[in-house]
Structure 1
Amino acid sequence: MEWKVRRKILTPDRERPWWEHSALAPSPLLRGETIRIYVGGIAADGVSSIGYVDVAANDPSRILGISQEPVLVKGRPGMFDDNGVFPASVTRVGSQVFLYYTGFEICEKIRYRMFGGLAVSDDDGETFHRATEAPVMDRTDEGLFFRGGPSVEPEDGRLRAVYSAGSAWEFIGDRLRPTYDIYGSISADGAVFPPAGRPLLARQAGEHGLGRPQIVRADGLWRMFFCVRTPDLRYASGYAVSEDGWDWTRRDDALNLGHSPAGSWDSEMVYFPNFIDTGSRRYLFYIGNDFSRGGFGYAELASW
């Protein structure tokens, strides 16, 4: 791939109590001449909520507005998302906007669990309500500790979904970190998913996680962007292609979006990639260093 420009959009300014730092997992929604980017902002207590940044569709470096309050906050005590939420993806389904999100739950025997939730908007992404307080991607044998982060794309009247799932932890340095791979399934309505999907992409040597995949259909191919976690913590983005949506070939080198030179906002992380086609321009949004404490930005695609 060739990229025209690569720019930072925003570093959180700590002006909002719910948003002390970070802009996790940017998820864009086209709204006319504006792109609304939903992000996970972390408060001083370490708990994340979901808000948004509005940018110009013809120039995402131009900020048009920032939500003063979050559109989705943590769940009630005891729920799967009672210790924070951040976006997985956002898409239009009929007249509604579906915001898939990851919910965190602190545990005693392990550090935490993560499962996938769904919030729905009936007013074009201004406000959201939970479709259910339970996960729409809950614990099953393919993902006992982690299962979620879905992205969906229409296909023949149904929705093709990709997501991550895992059931183990590994010591990376002196700290346990989760491991997971990428799976796929088909949903009739985007709210109910099968209890098990089909494995699509597995970790390779030197990787401890493939997560938060984003699927798009573009120029005759299914294309997937995803997170690649490695022991050196210089997390990167991966890329794969498929003709049928089930058999995938990794082409990470073709992504051509590596870490920037030392000192740049994205010199250590190019993470949480999310692609959008506005009809006239194509962008990949992603976060930078230290899980976006250094900000988030985008690259504009020139050609595949």
Structure 2
Amino acid sequence: MKWKKKGLIFVTEGRHSWAQTHAMIPTPEFINNNCLRFYVTVCDKQGIGRIGYVDVSANPLCKVIQVAESPILDIGDPGTFDENGILVTSIVNLPDGTKYLYYVGFEIGTKIRYRLLTGLAISRDNGKSFARMQKTPILERSDQELYFRGGPFVIYENGSFRMWYVGGNKWLTINGKEMPVYTINYLESNDGITWDKYGKVCIDIVNENEHGFGRPYIIKHDGKYKMFYSIRVKYLGYRLGYAESTDGINWIRKDQDIGINVSESGWDSEAVCYSAVIKINDQYYMFYNGNEFGKTGFGWAELVEW
């Protein structure tokens, strides 16, 4: 692939008390033919994330139209798995008009740094408001995925739900800091709410320079499932990866084909991560974060060649 970087779209820049920094994990959906909504996680001064949105035009492309004045989903109640921050990762539009918003709850630990577990919020008013399905995770910890069951990307296909997510139960010390170790796993569900305890590993750690992955994003193109994901690289931070599959379960990694990397300077000079790839007017675009997990906002790139 070859991508042409187009620059930044949005930086939070202290808009509100709940939105001081970051615009993490841009998660797009079409509001109509002329407008794209990006669900994003923004942070307050304490670094606690909440979910808002940024609306941009589809023609001309990526002109900011509207920004959320208040969170569409706030942090959880005291003592819940998402009391210390939430990260949006996937939006699913169902045939009856219901929207399922999948997110990650950030739970601070004492003997470990944190846990990441998956929650679900539902909208029945076309996205005007979202309410939690439940106060507990829909992906709860299990023996094989004790600390991490997060980063989900979900599609509704042929009457069932398919999820790709990050799961793991290990930590690794890098430069004196404990860092998470996890793989990208796969699950299916009849209702999008109830999921098995254990997923099938579909993207595994393959060399000593990797220790985990970020939110996968899957499209169907040219008769294949194509996955864009973030690779946590030791001593470097995030880089983007790419894989292909005929069934969405068994994947061939082709990271060398991703065709996009950090810039020499600027907002994405240290990292590229959390990409989403969509088709707009017969052209494919990538929306992604740069340095410091999206602290510098999110930007975009245009596909020049597959």
TM-score (norm 1): 0.95
Task: State the Cα distance separating 1:245 from its structure 2 match.
Answer: 1.3
Map 1:23-172; keep pairs closer than 5 Å.
23-32=23-32, 33-94=34-95, 95-172=97-174
Alignment-derived partner of residue 192 in structure 1: 194
The 1:226/1:188 distance shift into structure 2, 3 A limit, reads: same
Counterpart residue type for residue 271 of structure 1: C
Task: State the Cα distance separating 1:60 from its structure 2 match.
Answer: 4.2
Q: Distance in 2 between matches of 1:59 and 1:257?
A: 24
Task: State the Cα distance separating 1:6 from its structure 2 match.
Answer: 2.6
- In the TM superposition, what whole-angstrom CA distance separates every residue of 1:212-266 from its partner, at most 9, and x where no partner exists? 11122222101111110011233111110001111101111211011111x2211
Alignment-derived partner of residue 11 in structure 1: 11
Q: Distance in 2 between matches of 1:246 and 1:70?
A: 34
Are the counterparts in 2 of residues 25 and 273 from structure 1 also a CA contact under 8 Å?
yes
Task: State the Cα distance separating 1:267 from its structure 2 match.
Answer: 1.1
Q: Paired residue for 2:274, among 241, 256, 272?
A: 272
Q: Distance in 1 between matches of 2:289 and 2:61?
A: 14
Q: Distance in 2 between matches of 1:275 and 1:201?
A: 19
Task: State the Cα distance separating 1:75 from its structure 2 match.
Answer: 0.3
Secondary structure of 2:210's aligned partner: coil
- In the TM superposition, what whole-angstrom CA distance separates every residue of 1:28-85 from its partner, at most 9, and x where no partner exists? 1111111110111010122110001101123443100100111011100111101000
Alignment-derived partner of residue 233 in structure 2: 230
State how many pairs are aligned: 303
Q: Distance in 1 between matches of 2:178 and 2:23?
A: 23
Question: Structure 1, unaligned stretches of length 5 or more?
Answer: none
Percent same amino acid at aligned positions?
A: 39
Question: Structure 2, unaligned stretches of length 5 or more?
Answer: none
Matched, 1:257 2:263: no
TM-score (norm 2): 0.95
- In the TM superposition, what whole-angstrom CA distance separates every residue of 1:180-205 from its partner, at most 9, and x where no partner exists? 10111111122221111211011122
Are the counterparts in 2 of residues 51 and 67 from structure 1 also a CA contact under 8 Å?
yes
Q: Distance in 2 between matches of 1:185 and 1:203?
A: 19
Q: Distance in 2 between matches of 1:47 and 1:56?
A: 29
Q: Distance in 2 between matches of 1:208 and 1:241?
A: 21
Are the counterparts in 2 of residues 88 and 102 from structure 1 also a CA contact under 8 Å?
yes
Task: State the Cα distance separating 1:155 from its structure 2 match.
Answer: 2.8
Secondary structure of 1:290's aligned partner: helix
Alignment-derived partner of residue 180 in structure 2: 178
Are the counterparts in 1 of residues 11 and 296 from structure 2 also a CA contact under 8 Å?
yes
Alignment-derived partner of residue 2 in structure 1: 2
Calculate the aligned-residue CA RMSD, in Å. 1.4
Alignment-derived partner of residue 222 in structure 2: 219
Are the counterparts in 1 of residues 24 and 295 from structure 2 also a CA contact under 8 Å?
no
